[in-house]
């Protein structure tokens, strides 16, 4: 999959995409990430490229101008591209949405800054996605979160033992608790069932644990799951 990330801060991304699983995915060409500087599409006065201006109607802050944003999007957009604007006003990112996005051939991720982008630039956008009900200073972190969570669903990105299938939200509930060596840590033993080697019993125990924590922490997820089952 190809991902073009359009932002004012291409340097922001060095680091998160250069370690561990995402680094491996890039090296094996499963994930081809390109960084585009929106400033390259702004009119220049000498060394200065103007990308933002005061909001019409007054109010605080600056707004990203539509021209450089649209030009930046058009420079990478192809017939099969899916253009996402990372925005607090978008639909909230979920595991299901990540899985859906992982099937696209080409993602274009637009990261806003300041007060956001001029509304007219959104005609180039297919959907707005939010990573949560809070406001970040810019969209770069949100793009990193989206790419990381989405890449886990691209076949081959996770090794067999890391497969996403048993993770939280895949079955509508949390993953089970995990334990490793030592068998006893500061007086706390691992649950007996995990030592007995009975895989059916372990699977049942894990499901029960995942369900219990989901009920305790996020009961609305269980409600959603039962609604889906009865539909």
Instruction: Name the residues that contact ligand SAM, by CB under 6 A.
Output: 86-89, 111-113, 115-116, 130-132, 134-139, 142
As measured in angstroms, the least distance from the Cβ of 130 to ligand SAM is 4
Nearer to ligand SAM, 115 or 148 (CB): 115
117: DSSP letter: B
Residue 177 is among the residues annotated as catalytic for this protein: no
Residue 220 is among the residues annotated as catalytic for this protein: no
Residue among 66, 88, 148, 225 flagged as catalytic: 88
Which residue is at the shortest CB distance from ligand SAM?
Answer: 112
As measured in angstroms, the least distance from the Cβ of 45 to ligand SAM is 25
How far apart CA 63 and CA 105 sit, in angstroms, is 30
As measured in angstroms, the least distance from the Cβ of 38 to ligand SAM is 11
Residue among 40, 115, 127, 171 flagged as catalytic: 115
Block residue for tokens 């450089």: 68
Report the chain's terminal Cα–Cα distance, integer Å: 33
Residue among 4, 68, 124, 152 flagged as catalytic: 152
Nearer to ligand SAM, 73 or 173 (CB): 73
Residue 52 is among the residues annotated as catalytic for this protein: no
Three-state secondary structure of 142-194 = HHHHHHHHHHCCCCCCCCHHHCHHHCCCCCCCCCCCCCCCCCEECCEECCHHH
As measured in angstroms, the least distance from the Cβ of 62 to ligand SAM is 10
As measured in angstroms, the least distance from the Cβ of 178 to ligand SAM is 29
Nearest partner of 221 among 174, 178, 175, 177, judged by Cα: 174
How far apart CA 128 and CA 83 sit, in angstroms, is 9
Q: Is the peptide bond before 182 cis (omega within 30 degrees of 0)?
A: yes
Block residue for tokens 């889906």: 228
Nearer to ligand SAM, 99 or 138 (CB): 138
How far apart CA 33 and CA 154 sit, in angstroms, is 14
Residue 191 is among the residues annotated as catalytic for this protein: no
What does the angle CA 96 – CA 156 – CA 32 come to, to the nearest 5 degrees? 85
Whether the CB-CB separation of 211 and 222 falls below 8 Å is answered with: yes
Residues marked active site are found at 88, 115, 152, 167
């Amino acid at each position: 999959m190809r991902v073009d990330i359009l932002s004012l801060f291409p340097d922001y991304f060095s680091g998160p995409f250069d370690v561990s699983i995402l680094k491996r995915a890039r090296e094996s060409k499963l994930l081809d990430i390109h960084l585009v500087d929106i400033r390259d599409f702004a009119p220049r006065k000498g060394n200065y490229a103007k990308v933002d201006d005061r909001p019409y109607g007054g109010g605080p802050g600056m707004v990203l101008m539509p021209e450089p944003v649209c030009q930046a999007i058009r420079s990478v957009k192809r017939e099969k591209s899916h253009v996402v604007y990372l925005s607090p006003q978008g639909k909230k990112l979920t595991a299901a949405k990540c899985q859906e996005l992982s099937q696209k051939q080409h993602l274009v991720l637009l990261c806003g800054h300041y007060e956001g982008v001029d509304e007219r630039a959104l005609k180039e956008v297919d959907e707005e996605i939010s990573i949560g009900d809070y406001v970040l200073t810019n969209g770069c972190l949100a793009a990193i979160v989206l790419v990381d969570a989405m890449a886990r669903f691209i076949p081959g990105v996770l090794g067999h033992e890391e497969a996403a299938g048993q993770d939280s939200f895949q079955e509508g509930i949390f993953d089970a608790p995990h334990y490793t060596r030592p068998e006893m840590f500061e007086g706390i033993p691992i649950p007996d069932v995990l030592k007995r080697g009975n895989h059916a019993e372990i699977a049942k125990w894990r499901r029960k644990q995942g369900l219990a924590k989901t009920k305790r922490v996020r009961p609305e997820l269980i409600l959603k799951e039962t609604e889906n089952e009865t539909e």
